[in-house]
Structure 1
């Protein structure tokens, strides 16, 4: 008989899987993509190819690729979801996650987005705040508060978002670590497609039983809500709900984990701004938005061009792939003064870290709620929170997903 892995073994397995995923996503030391993005943006808002990934120009035959770098160019592509379609994700995402809203086109997309919105109802936020996110954050910090030192990525920013998503899906607490490991493997398909497909199949098998149970005995969770949701006589199929469940954890937990870790890095390396937030918590919402602008957790999106068009004076043929550099757009100096700097006091203008338009992130309000609860708790419970002077200096890494891999801190 094979013994089940211990909690410690599962946690180490998650760390190993995360390291493998980061390596597959271009995390290699403290190299920053932003100097090159600034140079490309200065040359043109739209480039042929995908220059920062080594694809300069386009072949004479075959599918072409273009990349949008300015804020206005990226926003224009997000705004026009007819010319710039998400259909390209069907070949990439569907084999791993099944049918999801990400690849849907109008008018089907509008109907299914309304169905998905039942799961993210604003009316649920207050309950999630008091009954789920707040207690989970408090319990997590209580585990290590007395230690006076920790790696915040490992202790806080990695575990909390995945546990929030698991609770919202109504998954048993005993399954959370296993679930987290599968989600990382699935999201890391660029590094290991075979492992990703295996994880996807295991997750699907698991969700079959979960959905069946929710249909038999509905609870106050997202799966039960989606199983009952209906718009204009349309309901989500079981396969679509499985797709939602497989998509939610990588999409929701991974990005929130990274955005909170990067904000902590920014505040800890700008002590004057950290002290300002510590003293005046009304500054926290703008600090959260500035953190997402300054270090966008997911730097690139893509679209498929459905007809010949022109973007910022560049002809884009039908069938081309349009890459969107959110990292570049959120550092556009024509929109933000000193855009390369982290500054919570800057003039507030909307960033594009949650995308824009018809496919804007469904979970952005949940992400903001989690960030508020996490940082208020850290500042309340860990007095004098600061970087550990005896640990190596932290750095942000990655070219596709970005965040610090460690954040060693101490407190009084």
Structure 2
């Protein structure tokens, strides 16, 4: 498939790819978008243009752009997937990943979402918990437990989610590091489209063989499940399965890597809340949700406006692009008191970090399972886990994807 390389060379190539990706996604030190987002929300729930990205208002005669910043406005867009269509992703995603459910419209979308749901069945989740995620987390932590110090981003939060996805797709261990690099290159199309397209082609070439093999000899993995899935006589085509595979590896791994890393930073910089979770693990689910609300891993989504409409008192013409600021919505002062504050004990209200409505994240239960396993293991296996006082203070960066670039810790 690819030229042989040592594990060390592959791991370094992943770090290099991640650096390129972060740079292309506006990762600029510890600058936070939230003060500006707060100002924009205070002015209006919906703005013309995409102000936090420097696009103020709309000029010219072409399609207009608008951005939703309040929780209610963002939720309203996600709820109405007819007026606010995902068709816009066809031009962006299809060249990179092939046909995916992301760009589908109703009624086709509803049928294919049911087909995709076979791959995320609740019955499978219990088995993944015991047979896949748990052992993988334990094995990963065991490798560095005796070192008494680590960068948790590099040692835990980056490798585990991609290994989970690769295992669910039935990829052999020997290919995982190579695919991790390809996944980052694919997702980093804003930084380097040529590199992303090359990664996509390399992935598809490999997946053609995987799918053909599963059709001949089905196994206990997502590819075999999707190859056999059928709803009302409809089955997924080979191209759609390749699209699913190319979408799942970067999307499912990248967001979970970032959300777990940000939650770890939040807990380690709030020792009282970390102590509370360590003492009472029943607090972990609400800590996970608060982490995603406080630092949403993917800040923006987009939609295409299919008819003239009004949102937040703003008239929006047909053909416009509607940007959705999930980061802003999850910091809406009308929904949460002191939204900039990380507080696992705040009144629990659903966030919108996994989107909402017909296109709500298919993998959110898997993400929560991974987070739960990772944090229970960290607290069990690394006694008195704390920030490394000799390392530079950690910070969160990014304007599209956000998370800490590294998280240096020590333990007893």
Output the TM-score relative to the length of structure 1. Answer: 0.99
Which runs of structure 2 are paired with 1:185-224 in the superposition (5 Å)? 185-224=185-224
* Aligned-residue offset at 1:4: 1.8
Instruction: Give the structure 1 partner of residue 277 of structure 2.
Output: 277
Which runs of structure 2 are paired with 1:13-412 in the superposition (5 Å)? 13-412=13-412
Structure 1, unaligned stretches of length 5 or more?
none
Aligned to 1:143, the other structure's residue is in SS state helix
CA distance in 2, matches of 1:93, 1:217: 30
CA distance in 2, matches of 1:10, 1:335: 44
Aligned to 1:396, the other structure's residue is in SS state coil
Aligned to 2:154, the other structure's residue is in SS state helix
* Aligned-residue offset at 1:3: 6.7
* Aligned-residue offset at 1:245: 0.1
* Aligned-residue offset at 1:59: 1.1
RMSD: 0.7
Q: In the superposition, relative to structure 1, how do residues 3 and 172 fare at CA in structure 2: closer, same or farther (>3 Å)?
A: closer
Q: Could you list the per-position Cα deviations for residues 19-64 of structure 1 after superposition, in whole angstroms to 9, with x for gaps in the alignment?
A: 0000000001000000000000000000000000000000131010
Q: Which runs of 4+ in 1 moved over 3 A?
A: none
CA distance in 1, matches of 2:182, 2:406: 22
CA distance in 2, matches of 1:186, 1:311: 34
How many aligned positions are there?
Answer: 411
CA distance in 1, matches of 2:242, 2:139: 30
CA distance in 2, matches of 1:303, 1:52: 17
Q: Could you list the per-position Cα deviations for residues 387-411 of structure 1 after superposition, in whole angstroms to 9, with x for gaps in the alignment?
A: 0000000000000000000000000
CA distance in 1, matches of 2:284, 2:163: 23
Q: Could you list the per-position Cα deviations for residues 323-372 of structure 1 after superposition, in whole angstroms to 9, with x for gaps in the alignment?
A: 00000000000000111100000000000000000000000000000000
CA distance in 1, matches of 2:154, 2:340: 27
CA distance in 1, matches of 2:210, 2:297: 30
CA distance in 1, matches of 2:283, 2:357: 27
CA distance in 1, matches of 2:67, 2:345: 31
CA distance in 1, matches of 2:36, 2:313: 22
CA distance in 2, matches of 1:217, 1:291: 41
Aligned to 1:404, the other structure's residue is in SS state coil
